[in-house]
Amino acid sequence: MPNLSRENEDIKELLRMIDQLRSELVKTASNEGFSSPNTIRISQLLDSYLVEYQRKMTGMNK
C-alpha cells in the first residue's frame, strides 16, 4: 500500500516549486523578454514540474 502521507508531501513540494517557478518565469520574461535563454530555461523547468505533478495526480486517481 502506498504511503499517502509521503505522496501528499511530494505533491505539496511540487506545488511549491511550480508556484515559485511561475513567479520567477513572469519576472524573468518581464525583465529579459520571452525569448531570452533564462526565460526559456525556467519555462522548460516549470514544464517538467507540471508534467510530474500531472503524473502524480493521474496516478492517485487510479
Per-residue model confidence as pLDDT tens digits over 3-54: 678 889 999 999 999 999 999 999 999 999 999 999 999 999 999 999 999 9
Buried b (16+ CB within 10 A) or exposed e, 46-55: beebeeebee
C-alpha to C-alpha distance for 51 and 23, rounded to whole angstroms: 18
Which comes out higher in pLDDT, residue 50 or 61? 50
Residue spans of the domains in the chain: they are 34-61
**pTM of this structure:** 0.85
Tell me how far apart the terminal alpha carbons of the chain are, to the nearest angstrom.
Answer: 13
